[in-house]
């Protein structure tokens, strides 16, 4: 089964600041969760490097890509918001 990409579509169009703030909070929370998961590797803990399985390394690589995509989405959305 092929996984669906999370950021295939364009970011949603947001017209008011309260919707934008909600969207930013949701993206921020997702980003924090991904970054927390990244911190569980041997690179950022007392675990030995040999304890990281190839699957763990692949998951970490995917998470890094997602974090970059979320950061880009946040940056694009923030620039597009008109403060009324």
Tens digit of pLDDT for each residue in 22-34?
888 888 888 888 8
Average pLDDT over residues 41-69: 76
Q: Is the confidence at residue 36, as pLDDT, over 60?
A: yes
Q: Is the confidence at residue 79, as pLDDT, over 70?
A: no
Q: What is the pLDDT of residue 84?
A: 46
The overall pTM is greater than 0.85: no
Asked whether 13 and 76 are in contact (CB, 8 A), the reply is no
Q: What is the dihedral of CA 63, 35, 79, 15, to 10 degrees?
A: 90
Q: Is the confidence at residue 68, as pLDDT, over 70?
A: yes
């Amino acid at each position: 089964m092929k996984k669906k990409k999370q950021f295939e579509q364009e970011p949603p169009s947001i017209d008011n600041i309260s919707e934008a703030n909600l969207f930013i909070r949701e993206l921020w929370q997702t980003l924090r969760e991904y970054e927390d998961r990244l911190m569980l590797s041997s690179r950022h803990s007392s675990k030995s490097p040999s304890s990281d399985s190839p699957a763990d390394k692949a998951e970490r690589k995917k998470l890094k890509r997602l974090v970059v995509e979320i950061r880009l989405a946040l940056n694009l959305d923030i620039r597009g918001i008109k403060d009324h």
